[in-house]
């Protein structure tokens, strides 16, 4: 990949579900090594965008690339180079933390001689050494999230996708997850694309954000730029300005159900 190329890029990405246009001509580029946030209310199309970039969902139109590989023509090359933490708490509670990581070490064909070391390093980096051999169902919500980040980083992907990484976490656990994401970035120079509807999270972590509303990008820039451009006092105000928050309520029944289920597992 050329040095100046974007780590993640979408060009007029569209996804329709029957009549609903979930993602409507979305274009953005993420610079290598930066943290980019997709902001928006529930149902704005953030998760659908991530699912297309992680090759889980085919776009209806438009295209995108990850680390220079086309998401439609080279999906396997894309998958080799990404880590993905879905919105739902996706570690298997019936297995230990180590077993959870071991499955993915094999799925990513990490050489046998490196597996143990990489898994130990990941536990170290995420502060989970003491919990490594406990069943995940005994973990706290924040620990599960860190385990998932550890798992997504096992194969040292250049790009990491996180869908609502701290939804349902208490403020302390949220801050710990942020600290660990910063550590990942510092250690590996990983490009991070995350979705969130917490303005605080975007302001803390992201160099650039795109505010999504009803499938479109309403505004894009650094948090400071968006605040200035909107004339609002802070990012919350900018968000309200661009999404008309309070006037429309997005999010399907299924979205709400999933968020609640995640919250319940975290409790």
Partner 1 sequence: MRSAHAVQRAAWPDVGGAVAFLEQVYAVAEADARKLRHDPVILLTRAVQPALWLLVFGQVFARIRGVPTGSLSYLDFMAPGILAQSSLFIAIFFGISVIWERDLGILHKFLASPAPRVALVLGKAAAAGIRGIAQAFIVYVLALFLHVDVRPSILAVIGVFLMVALGSAVFATFSLVMACLVRDRERLMGFGQVLTMPLFFASNAIYPISLMPAWLQVISGINPLTYQIDALRTLMIDGATSVFSVPLDIGVQLVFLGLLVWLAARLYPRVV
Nearer Cβ to partner 1 (87/191): 87
* Angle subtended at Cα 202 by Cα 123 and Cα 229, rounded to the nearest 5 degrees: 160
Q: How far is the CB of 89 from partner 1 (least distance, A)?
A: 7
Cα–Cα dist 154/190, whole Å: 12
Cα–Cα dist 134/154, whole Å: 19
Cα–Cα dist 86/15, whole Å: 19
By three-state DSSP, how is residue 248 classified? strand
Q: How far is the CB of 80 from partner 1 (least distance, A)?
A: 5
* DSSP run (H or E) holding 116: helix 112-125
Nearer Cβ to partner 1 (47/243): 47
Q: How far is the CB of 96 from partner 1 (least distance, A)?
A: 8
Nearer Cβ to partner 1 (38/89): 89
Nearer Cβ to partner 1 (100/230): 100
Nearer Cβ to partner 1 (147/205): 147
Q: How far is the CB of 97 from partner 1 (least distance, A)?
A: 13
Nearer Cβ to partner 1 (10/152): 152
Length of the chain: 267
Nearer Cβ to partner 1 (25/88): 88
Q: Which among 187, 178, 191, 174 has a CA at the least distance from the CA of 140?
A: 174
Residues that bind partner 1 in the complex, under the rule CB under 8 A: 51, 54-57, 76, 79-80, 82, 84, 86-92, 94-95, 99, 102-104, 106-109, 135, 151-152, 261
* DSSP run (H or E) holding 154: none
Q: How far is the CB of 240 from partner 1 (least distance, A)?
A: 30
By three-state DSSP, how is residue 73 classified? coil
Q: How far is the CB of 27 from partner 1 (least distance, A)?
A: 22
Burial 173-185 (b: 16+ CB within 10 A, else e): bbebbbebbeebb
Q: How far is the CB of 150 from partner 1 (least distance, A)?
A: 13
Distances (CA, A) of 113 to 116, 121, 179, 187, 267: 7, 14, 30, 22, 38
């Amino acid at each position: 990949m050329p040095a100046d190329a974007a780590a993640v890029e979408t060009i007029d990405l569209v996804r329709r579900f029957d009549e609903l246009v979930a993602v409507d001509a979305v274009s953005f580029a993420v610079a290598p090594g930066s943290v980019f946030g997709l902001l928006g209310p529930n149902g704005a199309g953030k998760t659908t965008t991530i699912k297309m970039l992680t090759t889980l969902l085919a776009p209806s139109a438009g295209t995108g690339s990850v680390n220079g590989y086309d998401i439609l023509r080279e999906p396997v090359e894309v998958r080799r180079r990404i880590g993905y933490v879905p919105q739902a708490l996706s570690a298997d509670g019936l297995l230990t933390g180590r077993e959870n990581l071991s499955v993915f070490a094999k799925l990513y064909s990490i050489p046998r001689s490196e597996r143990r070391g990489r898994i130990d390093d990941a536990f170290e980096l995420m502060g989970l050494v003491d919990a490594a051999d406990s069943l995940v169902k005994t973990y706290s919500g924040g620990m599960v999230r860190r385990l998932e980040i550890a798992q997504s980083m096992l194969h040292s992907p250049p790009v990491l996708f996180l869908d609502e990484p701290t939804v349902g976490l208490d403020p302390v656990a949220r801050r710990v997850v942020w600290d660990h994401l910063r550590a990942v970035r510092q250690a590996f120079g990983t490009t991070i694309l995350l979705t969130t509807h917490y303005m605080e999270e975007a302001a803390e972590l992201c160099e650039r954000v795109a505010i999504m509303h009803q499938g479109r990008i309403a505004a894009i820039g650094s948090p400071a730029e968006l605040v200035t451009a909107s004339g609002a006092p802070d990012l919350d105000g900018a968000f309200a300005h661009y999404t008309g928050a309070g006037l429309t309520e997005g999010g399907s029944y299924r979205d709400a159900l999933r968020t609640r289920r995640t919250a319940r597992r975290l409790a």
